[in-house]
């Protein structure tokens, strides 16, 4: 049964948006929904019709075409959303103690509840396994101190106590946590190792994306990479982000012309089939159904995380074995694409 989200019109929060970029010129309801995605477009339209949205001091209509210089004021109600419910879901536990739990997250698993995913996320599974997790600033992120994208696999940690959460949050804020990712990228990287240092900010035209910028308005972003294996047309690489920007690795790799394989946002986004690696007409027992993709999500895996353990006070490092789809892709590349062109 679908969960009903109630609306509390007695408590309103005001948001102000000043339009100064041409990229934001679109319908009023579409723009507000993109900026406040927790509110459905139908709810946004309802708020506009009820006079809770003004443009330049006047009430407007959902289909109003935004213009440069517009000042949009949105009064939105507090959403009374469902409680986070424990749910038994499979977890690959890398490490667990009284202070924290380390998980190897599979691809396609959302980290925390949000619209469309109220009870099938990593947080739901963690609550079922742990019983209780410390509260955070966001009621839907208990215990979490960081996250990875839904389609990125790999290591993620959650704190099991308030003290551990506070200490891990401090380490992340002070950039004292080291992370390493494994990626399969399109093409052959020109250097065996290099640093990508490019500022990142939100994409000027697509709000859900990030982009490299040169105008000084972005956030400083630094990634180090080292090639692990080279193949014809592909490279298997380890990437260590020195900063923690949204989509940083995917944006940086795409910016140098070598996006993650099958990245729908920053690359060609095409799923990889056996024929793409081995050629037409080749059969392989490791791929029973050649019509099913070998890899259908961005080839990015959070491989390791290192920090000072909040309970032991000692440096620790945890690794997550490579996800099955990426592991198979690497095996096929070794068989059919060994060596460079």
Site of tokens 């213009």: 67
The number of beta carbons lying within 10 Å of the beta carbon of residue 341 is 8
Same fold, 6-80 and 178-305+317-336: no
Instruction: Spell out the domain ranges in the chain.
Output: 6-80, 93-173, 178-305+317-336
Spatial neighbors of 202 by CB under 8 A, at least 6 apart, are 209, 210, 211
Q: What is the pTM of this model?
A: 0.78
More confident residue, 306 or 12: 306
Q: Cβ distance 294 to 287 under 8 Å?
A: yes
Give yes or no for residue 165 having a pLDDT over 80: yes
Q: Cβ distance 45 to 104 under 8 Å?
A: no
At the top level of CATH, the class of 178-305+317-336 is alpha beta
In angstroms, what is the C-alpha Rg of the chain? 22
Query: Looking at residue 341, what is its pLDDT?
Result: 57
How many angstroms separate the CA atoms of 11 and 52, rounded?
Answer: 12
Please give the CATH architecture assigned to the domain spanning 93-173.
2-Layer Sandwich (3.30)
Q: How confident is the model at residue 284 (pLDDT cuts 50, 70, 90)?
A: very high
Q: Cβ distance 36 to 44 under 8 Å?
A: yes
Mean pLDDT across 157-185: 96
Spatial neighbors of 246 by CB under 8 A, at least 6 apart, are 200, 210
Structure tokens at 67: 């213009």
Give yes or no for residue 238 having a pLDDT over 90: yes
Query: For residue 197, which phi and psi values (nearest 5 degrees)?
Result: -125, 95
Average pLDDT, the chain: 91
- With CA atoms as reference, report the closest residue to 259 among 225, 228, 287: 225
How many angstroms separate the CA atoms of 155 and 238, rounded?
Answer: 14
Q: How confident is the model at residue 143 (pLDDT cuts 50, 70, 90)?
A: very high
Is domain 6-80 annotated with CATH 3.40.50.720? no
Query: Looking at residue 48, what is its pLDDT?
Result: 92
Residues labelled catalytic? 149
**For residue range 53-103, what is the model confidence (pLDDT) as tens digits?**
999 999 999 999 999 999 999 988 766 556 788 999 999 999 999 999 999
Query: Looking at residue 5, what is its pLDDT?
Result: 45
Strands 193-197 vs 100-105: parallel, antiparallel or unpaired: unpaired
How many angstroms separate the CA atoms of 133 and 143, rounded?
Answer: 5
Mean pLDDT across 235-263: 97
Query: Looking at residue 2, what is its pLDDT?
Result: 36
CA dihedral 206, 116, 262, 229 (to 10 degrees): 110
């Amino acid at each position: 049964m679908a969960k009903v989200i109630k609306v509390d019109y007695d408590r309103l929060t005001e948001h102000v948006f000043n339009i100064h970029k041409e990229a934001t010129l679109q319908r009023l309801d579409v723009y507000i929904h993109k900026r406040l995605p927790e509110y459905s477009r139908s709810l946004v339209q309802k708020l506009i019709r009820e006079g809770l949205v003004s443009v330049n001091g006047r009430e407007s209509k959902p289909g109003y075409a935004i213009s440069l210089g517009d000042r949009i004021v949105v009064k939105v109600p507090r959403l009374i959303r469902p409680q986070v419910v424990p749910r038994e879901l499979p977890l690959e536990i890398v490490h667990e103690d009284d202070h924290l739990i380390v998980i190897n997250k599979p691809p396609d698993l959302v980290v925390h509840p949000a619209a469309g995913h109220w009870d099938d996320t990593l947080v739901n599974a963690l609550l079922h396994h742990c019983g209780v997790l410390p509260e955070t600033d966001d009621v839907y992120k208990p215990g979490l101190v960081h996250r990875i994208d839904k389609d990125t696999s790999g290591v993620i940690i959650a704190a099991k106590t308030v003290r551990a959460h506070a200490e891990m949050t401090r380490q992340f804020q002070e950039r004292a946590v080291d992370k390493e990712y494994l990626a399969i990228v399109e093409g052959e990287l020109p250097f065996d190792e290099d640093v990508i240092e490019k500022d990142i900010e939100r994409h000027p035209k697509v709000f859900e994306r990030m982009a490299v910028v040169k105008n000084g308005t972005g956030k400083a972003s630094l990634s180090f990479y080292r090639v692990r294996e080279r193949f014809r047309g592909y490279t298997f690489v380890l990437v260590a982000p020195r900063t923690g920007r949204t989509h940083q690795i995917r944006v940086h790799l795409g910016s140098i012309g070598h996006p993650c394989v099958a990245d729908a946002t920053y690359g060609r986004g095409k799923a990889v089939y056996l024929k793409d690696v081995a050629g037409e007409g080749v059969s392989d027992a490791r791929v029973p159904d050649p019509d099913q993709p070998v890899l259908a999500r961005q080839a990015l895996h959070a491989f390791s995380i290192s920090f000072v353990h909040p309970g032991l006070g000692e440096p620790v490092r945890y690794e997550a074995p490579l996800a099955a789809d990426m592991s198979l892709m690497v095996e096929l590349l070794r068989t059919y694409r060994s060596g460079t062109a």
